[in-house]
Amino acid sequence: MNIPTSQALFEKANQFIPGGVNSPVRAFKAVGGTPLFIKSAKGPYIFDEDGNRYLELINSWGPMILGHGHELVEKAVSDAVQHSFSFGAPTRREVEMAERIVGMVPSVEKVRMVNSGTEATMSAIRVARGFTGRDKIIKFEGCYHGHADSFLIAAGSGAVTFGTPDSPGVPKGVAQDTLTAPYNNLEAVQLLVDANPGQIAAIIIEPVVGNMGCVLPETGFLEGLRSICDKEGIIYIFDEVMTGFRLSKGGAQERFGVLPDMTTLGKIIGGGMPVGAYGGKEEIMNYVSPAGPVYQAGTLSGNPIAMAAGLAMLDYLDTHQEIYLQLDQSGVKLAQGFRASMEKLGLNYTVNQIGSMYTLFFTDQVVRDFPSAKSSDLGLYGKYFHAMLNRGIYLGASQFESMFLSTALEDSHLEEIMRANEESLKEILAEHP
Ligand SMILES: *Cc1c(COP(=O)(O)O)cnc(C)c1O
């Protein structure tokens, strides 16, 4: 019997790379089985090393909002490549990029480019701490802000207890300065603030969560945090690494009309290249070196090839805002289709959707925070994942991920996804009546 190439590659990868992958969720641990090794992608499709084609809803975890291999982005990169890959000196495109971001994201007045979302959030809280002279931050249970020490903190047991590290290697001293609150719970945040007067530098939040699956802020939640921050002199940070340029050209802040003091960006901003950025009010960003005292640097930051890709992407999004209507319609169509199929099958699982982000949670609870997300049947999600994969649909390899639609998905593709979804639900229902 022939061993599939993906399986052979994964076995070899495990000899040389921890767990065989360069980022954990790729390993399929949460769903079982062997990860597909991807060879190429075009439009709405990815192709694996065994020659299989899949319609996909990951899009590199968000960046490929125009589908794979968009010609304008490809052309920008191949043009840029002619002029060397890196200078470590300022370039014209960095200025254009900064101007474009400031023009698109409502609350950003000045911006600094970095190389990943992790760098963006890590730097943003350093600036918030430097600006306020305070050490503590508040984050929300189930929100992910990259892998810097301060953010790898699980829920504290009570509203005012200190966080404990989620991962070995995170020093207790660092963990102590990260306080956690349940998502969509303003009272818990107020309690934390009251218990730590004058000590909180920043509240950081995914304004729409993608990282416990897709979870929406309830009416008044983002606004309520805004007023707590205003009253207490706390820096309000929207982590829009996922939602930026996705939920609208100006991200979640534009969509909800709530303006943070600082914003972190990533994913779409690089058009598929490794790019991140953080920005905000001018008086805060002027604290960043060399304008101010807070140090932050990067040898490859603002890399010319990455800037070319990102700028081509942002230019397109800024000048084709009708695509957000198309993405919203695609998202609504899928969510409605999934709900209709479930009604037909007598199932009552939860679909959370906004714009081009959605998650089908295998729970009948309303999913509004981390505990309700965790009430999902993870075994069932694994079965569903493989049932979809067998039908040529590639989804996120964990219940706690959002799917990301691209403009490359046409109506026929959406129909195909809805059909596969109904068949997959039927199949797992037959196994688990
Ligand atoms: C992906 C993500 C990050 C981390 O970005 P990386 O580029 O993976 O370091 C941070 N915050 C949010 C909300 C994300 O979705």
Buried-exposed string 165-196: b where 16+ CB fall within 10 A, e elsewhere? beeeebeeebbebbbbbbbbbbebbbbbbeeb
163 in contact with ligand 1, CB cutoff 6 A: no
Provide the mean pLDDT of the chain.
95
376: amino acid identity, one letter: S
* From 110, 267, 374, 383, active-site residue: 267
**Residue 211 C-alpha to ligand 1 middle, in angstroms?**
9
338's enclosing H/E stretch is: helix 322-345
Q: Please say if the pLDDT value at position 5 is more than 70.
A: yes
Clarify whether residues 143 and 273 are in a common domain: yes
Clarify whether residues 294 and 355 are in a common domain: no
269 in contact with ligand 1, CB cutoff 6 A: no
Q: Please say if the pLDDT value at position 14 is more than 60.
A: yes
Q: Please say if the pLDDT value at position 157 is more than 50.
A: no
Local confidence band at 419 (pLDDT 50, 70, 90 cut-offs): very high
Clarify whether residues 342 and 238 are in a common domain: no
Clarify whether residues 202 and 275 are in a common domain: yes
321, 249 Cβ separation under 8 angstroms: yes
Look up the CATH number of the domain holding residue 388.
3.90.1150.10
**Closest ligand 1 atom to 23 CA:** 8
Clarify whether residues 55 and 200 are in a common domain: no
Give pLDDT, residue 431. 86
Mean pLDDT of 408-416: 98
When mean pLDDT is compared across 29-43, 135-149, 162-176, 380-394, the lowest value belongs to: 162-176
362, 376 Cβ separation under 8 angstroms: yes
250 in contact with ligand 1, CB cutoff 6 A: no
373: phi then psi, degrees, rounded to nearest 5: -60, -40
Active site residue 29: no
Clarify whether residues 340 and 423 are in a common domain: yes
Among 264, 286, 319, which residue terminates a domain? 319
Clarify whether residues 310 and 331 are in a common domain: no
**pLDDT tens profile 271-328:** 999 999 999 999 999 999 999 999 999 999 999 999 999 999 999 999 999 999 999 9
239 in contact with ligand 1, CB cutoff 6 A: yes
What one-character DSSP code corresponds to residue 220? Answer: T
Give pLDDT, residue 153. 83
Q: Please say if the pLDDT value at position 377 is more than 50.
A: yes
**pLDDT tens profile 101-122:** 999 999 999 999 999 999 999 9
**Residue 116 C-alpha to ligand 1 middle, in angstroms?**
7
- In this prediction the pTM is 0.96
Angle between helix axes 92-104 and 304-319 (nearest 10 degrees) is 30
Residue 252: name the closest of 270, 233, 268 by CA: 268
What one-character DSSP code corresponds to residue 36? Answer: P
Domain hosting 174: range is 71-319
- Give residue 24's Cα distance to chain centre: 15
Residues 243, 246, 247, 253, CA torsion sign: positive
**Closest ligand 1 atom to 117 CA:** 5
Give pLDDT, residue 168. 85
Whose alpha carbon is nearest atom 5 of ligand 1? 117
Q: Please say if the pLDDT value at position 423 is more than 90.
A: yes
Q: Please say if the pLDDT value at position 160 is more than 80.
A: no
**Closest ligand 1 atom to 267 CA:** 7
Contacts of residue 107, Cβ cutoff 8 Å, sequence gap at least 6: 238, 253, 259, 260, 261, 263, 280, 281
243 in contact with ligand 1, CB cutoff 6 A: no
Look up the CATH number of the domain holding residue 264.
3.40.640.10
**Residue 125 C-alpha to ligand 1 middle, in angstroms?**
14
Clarify whether residues 354 and 231 are in a common domain: no
**Closest ligand 1 atom to 206 CA:** 13
Q: Please say if the pLDDT value at position 237 is more than 50.
A: yes
Give pLDDT, residue 158. 32
Mean pLDDT of 142-154: 88
Local confidence band at 155 (pLDDT 50, 70, 90 cut-offs): very low
Q: How far is 86 from 94, CA to CA, in rounded Å?
A: 12
Active site residue 144: yes
Among 290, 319, 348, which residue terminates a domain? 319
Give pLDDT, residue 51. 96
Mean pLDDT of 127-144: 96
Clarify whether residues 96 and 216 are in a common domain: yes
206 in contact with ligand 1, CB cutoff 6 A: yes
Q: Please say if the pLDDT value at position 409 is more than 70.
A: yes
**Closest ligand 1 atom to 143 CA:** 13
182 in contact with ligand 1, CB cutoff 6 A: no
Local confidence band at 206 (pLDDT 50, 70, 90 cut-offs): very high
Position with higher pLDDT, 297 vs 24: 297
Share of the chain above pLDDT 90, in %: 93
Share of the chain above pLDDT 70, in %: 97
* From 239, 324, 349, 381, active-site residue: 239
Clarify whether residues 263 and 190 are in a common domain: yes
Residue 60: name the closest of 34, 25, 32 by CA: 25
Give pLDDT, residue 164. 61
Among 319, 351, 373, which residue terminates a domain? 319
Number of domains making up the chain: 2
Q: Which strands make up the sheet holding 178-181, listed edge to edge?
A: 110-114, 276-280, 262-265, 235-239, 200-205, 136-140, 178-181
Give pLDDT, residue 284. 98
Active site residue 267: yes
**Residue 331 C-alpha to ligand 1 middle, in angstroms?**
22
Clarify whether residues 165 and 298 are in a common domain: yes
207, 222 Cβ separation under 8 angstroms: yes
Clarify whether residues 216 and 169 are in a common domain: yes
